[in-house]
Amino acid sequence: MNVFNTDQSAEALISRANKVLPAGSFGNMPGDIVLERGKAGRVWDIKGTEYVDYLLGSGPMFVGHAHPDVTKAITEQAPQGTTFFANNQHGIKLAEEICEAMACADQLRFVSSGSEATLYAMRLARAYRKRDKILKFEGGYHGMSDYSLMSLAPTRLANYPQALPDSAGIPKQVSNEVIIAPFNDIETVKSLITEYQDELGGVIVEPFQRLIPPAPGFLEMLREITLKYEIPLIFDEIVTGFRFSYGGAQDYYGVTPDLCTLGKIIGGGFPVAAVCGNKEIMKHFDKALVGEENFLPQIGTLSGNPLASVAGLATLNILKPASSYQKVFETGRQLMEGLRAALQDNGHVAQITGEPALFDVFFSDRKIKNYRDVLQSDAGKSRSFNQLLRKQKIFKSDSKFYVSLAHTQDDIDLTISAMNHAAKALKEV
């Protein structure tokens, strides 16, 4: 029996959270809603309210909540052991599956989070090239490390390539080691890489930056110029890996980096991520091959643990048929078109940005090509629209619709109806 399943106890639990959690939350979503369970494309809060879920745990639940194949794999493994701090067959199998799927991956190392994966990928690139600086893109999200939290979401804009910290507690010197460039600006990026070629340890990019697709030729240019100057190119595929294609964004867009980071989907809802790359760079994790001076130590208590590995393997097995991606993209196309029609019919000027598996709306009259275009959109209107969707029992973050394999036609129809109600109500806000 659910002891929290009343409005009064829900309020009490939220009050308890406020006492022990800063801001009353885990640091992700606001603490005004407490979820109890999920099944397929729906979630329920502790009051028993049912939502169509487009948060999906911030993306990992791509095959839906509590998929029977994933649940079976977990329940069979758990009595056999949950972690060993040593190699296990399931982690090895997951590594083999990922390396077969990802074009850039000869080898990989497991970690437990996307932040760890991008941190190690940048460190690995610097170790390989023996240079300190990293070029990243304004508005690009690469986790919570010091380097990553440079010009992620600056409220004041600086001239490129100046990096601005997005958090307290970051040493001032870090700003000097990060070069900031505008996403999708081919000529500016070429100029910056050419200028700093001798100082760059690597270039890191989300091939699909948050919600912004790459402009035609942009990723191809990045690949060409980094090859020209022998600078490692890192694709952060924590979000896009196994979401846009079984081979990730590098397959979907047809551009192969030197390194990539993976997370979210590969753990099937459990904490696992990975740094993948070609053998020449990955050998820096092997002291016997590179010696003490060039060795990059990497240790993680839960890295490659069998419970996360079996969940990941079960998830990837579900996704392997091409029909899985056909279904997700058809669902996304219906939702995008429904959203576009709802907004247009109610007189809202807006841009639907993204790909069918991952998209959202920006209230703006200009095409969204980079972070500065995002800043020009009406963020207040977006928040109001999301709040209205929540009232219509649509659960999502303030920034995106994650689409899952588990979303049904009934989910789509309910969502499009909610979009129409929210778009109509938004005219009165």
d(CA 100, CA 193): 31
d(CA 112, CA 271): 5
d(CA 17, CA 13): 6
Q: Which residues of 58-92 are buried (b: 16+ CB within 10 A; e: fewer)?
A: ebbbbbbbebeebeebbeebeeeeeeeeeebebbe
Nearest to 46 by CA among 55, 61, 36, 56: 36
Q: Is 264 a catalytic residue?
A: yes
Please state the separation of Cα 213 from the chain's center in Å: 14
- Which of 51, 54, 246, 264 is catalytic? The answer is 264
d(CA 409, CA 9): 34
- Which of 236, 251, 258, 373 is catalytic? The answer is 236
d(CA 152, CA 170): 13
d(CA 84, CA 86): 5
Nearest to 276 by CA among 139, 96, 404: 96
Region for residue 230 given its phi and psi (left: phi exceeds 0; alpha: psi -120 to 50; beta: otherwise): left
Helical segments of 82-113, H only? 89-101
Q: Is 141 a catalytic residue?
A: yes
For the chain, the distance separating the N- and C-terminal CA atoms, rounded to the nearest angstrom, is 40
> Would you call 396 helix, strand, or coil by DSSP?
coil
- Which of 51, 120, 128, 141 is catalytic? The answer is 141
d(CA 335, CA 343): 12
Catalytic residues: 141, 236, 264
